[in-house]
């Protein structure tokens, strides 16, 4: 089985995510009701010029990460899959773990990462279980080490 196409597809996905504004847009959508927000809300939160935001949304849409729907004059954007929100949770857990183990000057970054809003309904454990096909062991209080790291 040739796995090269899968690696290329993954690389294209991560390339589409490789901009701070795109990550911010995805975080806003992940925290929104039904993973959906009007483009005006995205512009308000990001502070981006409409043309700049439009370009970033187009990249995310081409990558299949978000979808859009017109409602009258408004355009709403939505995460294409709830798994996108869970990907953000896993990325946050990974980064918090890395920053926690880093040297002292990472403290500001760690504090900023911890202030990010939680992604409702998204669980890194759910994603890891989905990917591995195994139930992830949890700690005594019913949460996993991954979830604790994401806090």
Determine how many CB atoms are found less than 10 A away from the CB of residue 43.
16
Considering the chain, what percentage of its residues have pLDDT values greater than 90?
55
CA dihedral sign of residues 53, 19, 59, 96: negative
Interatomic CA distance for residues 7 and 85, integer angstroms = 21
The residue ranking higher by pLDDT, 18 or 123, is: 18
Q: In 15-137, where do the E strands start and end?
A: 36-38, 66-71, 74-79
Domain boundaries, the chain: 4-80, 83-150
pTM for this prediction: 0.68
Burial class (CB within 10 angstroms; exposed 0-12, middle 13-18, buried 19+) of 92? buried
Q: What is the pLDDT of residues 41-80, one digit of tens each?
A: 999 999 999 999 999 999 999 999 999 999 899 999 999 9
Q: Give pLDDT, residue 78.
A: 98
Cα–Cα distance measured from residue 110 to residue 113, given in angstroms and rounded to the nearest whole number: 5
25 contact partners, CB below 8 Å, separation of at least 6: 42, 46, 53, 56, 57, 60, 66, 77
Q: State the fold for domain 4-80.
A: Arc Repressor Mutant, subunit A (1.10.10)
Q: What is the pLDDT of residue 49?
A: 95
Model pLDDT for residues 130-140, shown as the tens digit of each residue:
444 444 444 44
Least confident of 83-87, 103-107, 132-136, 141-145: 132-136
pLDDT of residue 108: 64
Residue that is written with structure tokens 């299949």 in the block: 64
């Amino acid at each position: 089985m040739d796995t090269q196409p899968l690696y290329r597809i993954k690389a294209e996905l991560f390339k589409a995510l490789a901009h701070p504004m795109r990550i911010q847009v995805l975080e806003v959508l992940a925290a929104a009701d039904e993973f959906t927000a009007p483009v005006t809300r995205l512009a308000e939160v990001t502070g981006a010029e409409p043309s700049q935001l439009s370009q970033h949304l187009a990249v995310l849409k081409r990558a299949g990460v978000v979808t859009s729907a017109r409602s009258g004059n408004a355009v709403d954007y939505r995460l294409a899959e709830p798994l996108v929100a869970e990907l953000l949770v896993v990325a946050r857990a990974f980064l918090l773990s890395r920053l926690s183990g880093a040297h002292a000057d990472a403290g500001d970054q760690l504090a900023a990462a911890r202030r990010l809003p939680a992604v409702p309904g998204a669980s890194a454990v759910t994603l890891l279980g989905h990917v591995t096909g195994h139930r992830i062991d949890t700690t005594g209080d019913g949460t996993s080490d991954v979830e604790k790291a994401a806090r």
